[in-house]
Structure 1
Amino acid sequence: MDEASTSAPGGATRRAFPPARSRVYYRFIQQNLPAWKPAMTPGCLIATFLIIGIIFVPFGLFCLQTSNHVAEIIRRYDVDCVPNSYRGNKQAYSKDSLISKNCTLEVKVPDHMRAPIYVYYELENFYQNHRRYVKSRSNKQLCFGAKYTAESCSPIQWDDNGFPIVPCGLIAWSLFNDPYGFTYGSKEIKVNRKNISWKSDREHKFGKNVFPSNFQNGSFIGAE
């Protein structure tokens, strides 16, 4: 045995270490073990920063040059695609099912764009870290269908006729779902929509045979 116990006054037990281990243990807890401590002299610091600069400055210039050649086009359409009579009340425009929501806009491309070209959408003033919002979903329903409707989906859980909403919850209700299509002259530009989500989500998180139902009926159309 390398260790021994001794009794201290008052009934406490103190663990005693052999002399060699005791010295190492003491130096460890006191942070007195041998260590390399560089001397921060002006010459050492200058040499260090020069070496770092020589390595990273070319890399930074390459990144800057690459980013300057990226062609980006931003086109906002939430105003241009709304009729003039509804621009003061966009919610009424969203809920009016008699009005077509299709919109065609012309986008001019001033620079040459090389493939692949990525299409994104941008939202402003949209915050999704509220506790009630984060919990307002049903993972089982997204995977297995309407037979699973959690209470956490409230208030977007049932429609006006008492039928379950699929998908339920505030997260699904506020999901941005505008579809896009592109043409060049009279030629349609195909957009690849495959493999744009995580493979693990497609295989384990969302069911392949689960489709929306009772999702855009009545009062749930549009934003509140």
Structure 2
Amino acid sequence: MEVKSRQFSFLKLFSFEKVHKHMKSPIYVYYQLDNFYQNHRRYVKSRSDEQLRDHREENSTNACKPEDIANGKAIVPCGLIAWSLFNDTYSFSRDNKNLTVNKNGISWKSDREHKFGKDVFPKNFQSSAIRGGATLNVSIPLSKQEDLIVWMRTAALPTFRKLYGKIEVDLNEGDNITVTLQNNYNTYSFNGKKKLVLSTTSWLGGKNDFLGIAYLTVGGLCFFLALAFTIVYFVKPRQLGDPSYLSWNRNPGGR
């Protein structure tokens, strides 16, 4: 189920959506951005993995320019990726009863345990003249700032989805869901679009059109190449190991 974000001048708006078929919990809430190139080389490199892991590397900001220093002090976490952290917020209700969105465990466990330090806390973040996206709670270590951890795992394509949270109750067909969203994130600057997606998974995982299209395309290409090589082999066969194809036999007088 998709909810397209309509960008108005005010911060809050209400959107009413009807559930088209039964959705079994957990229901994953994603935000989708279009035309956002997280794979740009300068953007991808604008981070400090050393700083994210270890509080003793607080000043390791060489790769983070221009978001490395503010007011003469190092920014933690530094870099353009963290600076542009997504900051729209969503809340849901069904029949005037709130639906809780669980934001625990939305990031990769390996990222929480090995890439973001338990003793690293935000410092001097979003304090420069130009503010990017969301702010961070300075009393919570980066290993527990799961919205940040999800955002820092950059996407390979300009249209991508990132996990916002999980609704841990079933939604029934015909349920009217009220979505209250706070429209903070600026997509005008890169001519982008925002969408809110509710999805479930099966034992095979979630829906991914890109992988299916990619596999079919590559498989089809391999099939036609194999067919072409087979036709060439039967129409104009070449004896394997034929010495007449050696360069000195093809041109005996030359070198």
Specify the TM-score bucket, using the shorter chain as the normaliser. Answer: 0.5 to 0.7
Q: How does 1:157-176 map to 2 (within 5 A)?
A: 157-159=68-70, 161-176=71-86
Residue-by-residue CA offset, 1:128-184 (whole Å, 9 max, x unaligned): 22222221100111112372332111100111x212211100111122232322122
C-alpha distance in 1 between matches for 2:95 and 2:129: 39
Aligned residue type for 1:166: V
Residue 73 of structure 1 corresponds to 2
Cα deviation for residue 218 of structure 1 reads: 4.3
Distance 1:150 1:216, change over 3 A: closer
Q: Which runs of 5+ in 2 are unaligned?
A: 133-185, 190-255
Q: Secondary structure, in 3 states, of the residue corresponding to 2:93?
A: strand
Q: Secondary structure, in 3 states, of the residue corresponding to 2:16?
A: coil
C-alpha distance in 2 between matches for 1:162 and 1:186: 49
Q: Does the 8 Å CA contact 2:3/2:17 hold for their aligned counterparts? A: no
Cα deviation for residue 201 of structure 1 reads: 0.7
Q: Does the 8 Å CA contact 1:143/1:206 hold for their aligned counterparts? A: yes
Q: Does the 8 Å CA contact 1:156/1:170 hold for their aligned counterparts? A: yes
Distance 1:119 1:218, change over 3 A: same
Residue 202 of structure 2 corresponds to none
Q: Secondary structure, in 3 states, of the residue corresponding to 1:201?
A: helix
Aligned residue type for 2:62: E
C-alpha distance in 2 between matches for 1:220 and 1:208: 28
Q: Secondary structure, in 3 states, of the residue corresponding to 2:89?
A: coil
Residue 52 of structure 2 corresponds to 142
Q: Secondary structure, in 3 states, of the residue corresponding to 2:33?
A: coil
Q: How does 1:95-134 map to 2 (within 5 A)?
A: 101=11, 103-116=12-25, 117-134=27-44
Asked which structure has the greater RCO (Cα within 8 Å, sep 6+), the reply is 2
Q: Does the 8 Å CA contact 2:58/2:76 hold for their aligned counterparts? A: no
Residue 125 of structure 2 corresponds to 215
Q: 1:189 aligns with which of 51, 76, 99?
A: 99
Q: Does the 8 Å CA contact 1:75/1:107 hold for their aligned counterparts? A: no
Are positions 1:152 and 2:63 aligned together? yes
Root mean square deviation of aligned Cα: 2.2
C-alpha distance in 2 between matches for 1:211 and 1:182: 30
Cα deviation for residue 189 of structure 1 reads: 0.7
> Which structure has the highest strand share of the two?
2
Q: Which runs of 5+ in 1 are unaligned?
A: 1-71, 84-100
Residue 110 of structure 2 corresponds to 200
Q: Secondary structure, in 3 states, of the residue corresponding to 1:220?
A: coil
Name which one, 1 or 2, has greater alpha-carbon Rg. 1
State the number of aligned residues.
Answer: 132
> Which structure has the highest helix share of the two?
1
C-alpha distance in 2 between matches for 1:218 and 1:201: 27
Return structure 1 stretches of 4+ with deviation > 4 angstroms. Answer: none
